[in-house]
Chain A
Amino acid sequence: MAGLEDLYREIILDHYRSPRNRGELPSPPAQRVEGFNPLCGDEIVVTLEVNDGSVSDIKIGGTGCSISQSSASLMSAAVKGKPVTEVRDLIRTFKGMMSIHESTLPGKDSQDEADTEAGEAQLLDVDSLGELAALQGVVKFPVRIKCATLSWNTLAQGLDEAESETGPAGA
């Protein structure tokens, strides 16, 4: 049986109680993206600035459960100041970690299929995730996976929109 300590690791509760990079950047110039979890009504607002090919600043708004809020907070701390290419790698790795178990579930959403190549799961370097690895236990609670990935999907959309406006190099 998966225990609560698998889900609610201390670092998760810490980020839930004291979220990092909370708020909204003025938009424009920041890219502003909203994400929704239709299951629970949670919503997240990611505002980010991409300069010289890097995520120079990011803030997180919205409301949600401890898992979605801590995941967003951990994400913001992990990507701030990082090159967009590295951030995209991180998104891929994180979603890979979240889909190892999800990929074995029947009726999995097709939108996540791209992330669940069988080989990719084995190649996941969870150690490279640092503090984010604390969210690994979420996969034992399948209903909560969408809570953890909400902010990441929203960030990915924000990066796409930023690039479509300014080109892949960023500006």
Chain B
Amino acid sequence: MADLIDVAHGLDVETLRKDFPLLAQEVNGHPITYLDSAASSQRPHQVLDAMREYDETTHANVHRGVYRIAEEATHRFEAARVAVGRFIGAPNPSREILFSKNATEGLNLVANTWGRTHLHPGDSILLTEMEHHANIVPWQMLAEERELSIRWIPIDDDGALILDDLERLVDGVKLVGITCMSNVLGTLNPVGDIARVAHAAGAVVVADGAQSVPHLPTDVSTLGCDFLAFSAHKMLGPTGIGVLWGRDELLTPLPPFLGGGEMILDVRKEGFTPNDLPWRFEAGTPPITEAIGLGAAVEYLQAIGMESIRAHEISLTTYAMNTLAERFGDDIRIFGPKDPIQRGGVLSFAYRDIHPHDVSQILDQYGVCVRAGHHCAKPLMRRLGVNATARASFALYNNESDVDALADALAETGAFFG
């Protein structure tokens, strides 16, 4: 796949796009312009083929049978775990990478295991105003049950966290929950800086990497957080599988999350003995085919290189922000940081006073797929003073033609509503 990288000009997106079957289709007589990768990304045939090949040649339950294909299935499942671990720099991938259903389940796992072990009535949690509901509601549920209080790191008008008061906010806090990259604003948060202050105050840091891991180089050995959750389907992989990385020393003493098969060493009538890491947290038959697909997605991303992907997305975000500003001026308001270096390829916007649902409805007529809604971040929507936004988000397969198609369709939207 080295030929996909044109060193002088960044990614060879035109060649790379051919790997994604869905991008070849038309919608409403227009070539599809897929700008919703922050919700779910498309899959290259390398991922689809790996899953099919596994299903057709190797499938059996893992960690069970002693026959050849069962051993091979187990081997490939565990190899995918290690591949994902290496992708994010996990020091001990065969123990620290837990497969979950998605990032949401990973965060719930932390709340239900680490949270239930360490958080007691009167304790405090610190979250940010820009969290996805997945990194808010599990803590609110626990807060209600355990009588915890929740504090919030506010954001400024450019969508950056206000950290001037961090030391006071974090004082006495047991856990800090922070997104690496906002799914609405694209803001890239200084996780390392926040983690240093949090750790000095004795708090554990849980990071939501659902938006960052698919688009930026990630190295948990230097990132600073103690737990990191993300989803396969936002990083060219399948739905139904996510990852929770946790520090070995934090995971080791924790009780199981769900009970059942796989997560036990022994069961007697009197009780059970839980399994070792990572299987203690993987009750029941795991998503095996999906793990194979995630492994293939990681391989695909690594072959292109996360640095190249990031550089491409910065360039495309810059082009998009400039194009939209030039063509629509004050009619468009893009939320979040002005500097593309400080954000990911996620552009939430308000276009005149046209409701985001109406915007995305008209865009759909031109084959342009964007998300309209509150993006599962209602506290942030309230902070921004809107009910909803329209959101265009990029991945490695998007190009400047996609941005132009968005701008052309927006112009049609403006004309339609007069």
Chain A interface (Cβ < 8 Å from any Cβ of B)? 1, 3-4, 7-8, 13, 39-43, 63-67, 141, 144, 147
User: Which residues of chain A come closer than 8 Å to B374, judged between CB atoms?
Assistant: 40-41
Contact A7 B357 (CB under 8 A): no
Residue of A nearest to B412 (CB): A4
Contact A40 B357 (CB under 8 A): yes
Contact B361 A41 (CB under 8 A): no
The contact string, 1 if C-beta is below 8 Å from chain A, for chain B 360-375, is 0110010000001110
Contact B387 A66 (CB under 8 A): no
Contact A144 B357 (CB under 8 A): yes
Provide the bound-state CA to CA distance between A38 and B291, in Å.
Answer: 32
Residue of B nearest to A62 (CB): B387
Provide the bound-state CA to CA distance between A13 and B355, in Å.
Answer: 13
Which range contains the number of B residues in contact with the other chain? 10 to 19
Provide the bound-state CA to CA distance between A154 and B417, in Å.
Answer: 27
For A41, A64, A141, the residue with the greatest tally of chain B CB atoms inside 10 Å of its CB is A41
Q: Which listed residue, B358, B373, B417, touches A41 by the CB 8 Å rule?
A: B373
Q: Which listed residue, B358, B373, B388, touches A66 by the CB 8 Å rule?
A: B358
Provide the bound-state CA to CA distance between A98 and B22, in Å.
Answer: 32
Task: List 15 additional contacts besides A4-B365, A41-B387, A66-B358; criterion CB under 8 Å.
Answer: A1-B28, A3-B365, A4-B362, A4-B416, A13-B417, A40-B372, A40-B373, A40-B387, A40-B388, A41-B381, A41-B388, A63-B387, A65-B357, A67-B357, A141-B361
* Nearest CB of A to B334, in Å: 19
Indicate whether B378 reaches chain A with its CB closer than 8 angstroms: yes
User: Which residues of chain B come closer than 8 Å to A43, judged between CB atoms?
Assistant: 387
For B355, B362, B373, the residue with the greatest tally of chain A CB atoms inside 10 Å of its CB is B355
Chain B interface (Cβ < 8 Å from any Cβ of A)? 28, 355-358, 361-362, 365, 372-374, 378, 381, 387-388, 416-417
User: Which residues of chain A come closer than 8 Å to B388, judged between CB atoms?
Assistant: 40-42
User: Which residues of chain B come closer than 8 Å to A39, judged between CB atoms?
Assistant: 373
18 example contacts (A-B, Cβ-Cβ < 8 A) are as follows A3-B365, A7-B361, A13-B417, A40-B388, A41-B373, A43-B387, A64-B355, A65-B356, A65-B357, A65-B358, A66-B355, A66-B357, A66-B358, A67-B357, A67-B358, A141-B361, A144-B357, A144-B361
* Nearest CB of A to B25, in Å: 14
Provide the bound-state CA to CA distance between A147 and B416, in Å.
Answer: 20
User: Which residues of chain B come closer than 8 Å to A63, judged between CB atoms?
Assistant: 387
* Nearest CB of A to B274, in Å: 37
Contact B387 A147 (CB under 8 A): no
Provide the bound-state CA to CA distance between A40 and B387, in Å.
Answer: 7
Residue of A nearest to B374 (CB): A41
Provide the bound-state CA to CA distance between A1 and B29, in Å.
Answer: 10
User: Which residues of chain A come closer than 8 Å to B28, judged between CB atoms?
Assistant: 1
Given contacts A39-B373, A40-B374, A42-B388, contact A8 B355 (CB under 8 A): no
Residue of B nearest to A3 (CB): B365
* Nearest CB of A to B28, in Å: 6
Provide the bound-state CA to CA distance between A66 and B352, in Å.
Answer: 14
Provide the bound-state CA to CA distance between A65 and B362, in Å.
Answer: 13
Residue of A nearest to B381 (CB): A41
Q: Which 6 A-B pairs have the closest CB atoms?
A: A65-B355, A65-B357, A41-B387, A41-B374, A41-B388, A66-B358
Residue of B nearest to A39 (CB): B373
User: Which residues of chain A come closer than 8 Å to B373, judged between CB atoms?
Assistant: 39-41
* Nearest CB of B to A141, in Å: 7
User: Which residues of chain A come closer than 8 Å to B416, judged between CB atoms?
Assistant: 4, 8
Residue of A nearest to B354 (CB): A66
Residue of A nearest to B355 (CB): A65
Given contacts A8-B416, A141-B361, A144-B361, contact A41 B378 (CB under 8 A): yes
* Nearest CB of B to A39, in Å: 6
Provide the bound-state CA to CA distance between A135 and B358, in Å.
Answer: 15
Provide the bound-state CA to CA distance between A85 and B323, in Å.
Answer: 55
Provide the bound-state CA to CA distance between A67 and B359, in Å.
Answer: 12
For B356, B361, B381, B417, the residue with the greatest tally of chain A CB atoms inside 10 Å of its CB is B361
For A40, A43, A64, A144, the residue with the greatest tally of chain B CB atoms inside 10 Å of its CB is A40
* Nearest CB of A to B351, in Å: 13
* Nearest CB of B to A28, in Å: 27
Provide the bound-state CA to CA distance between A13 and B361, in Å.
Answer: 14
Provide the bound-state CA to CA distance between A40 and B355, in Å.
Answer: 10
Provide the bound-state CA to CA distance between A7 and B374, in Å.
Answer: 23
User: Which residues of chain A come closer than 8 Å to B372, judged between CB atoms?
Assistant: 40
Residue of B nearest to A8 (CB): B416
Given contacts A4-B416, A147-B357, contact A42 B365 (CB under 8 A): no
User: Which residues of chain B come closer than 8 Å to A3, judged between CB atoms?
Assistant: 365
User: Which residues of chain A come closer than 8 Å to B378, judged between CB atoms?
Assistant: 41
Provide the bound-state CA to CA distance between A65 and B413, in Å.
Answer: 14
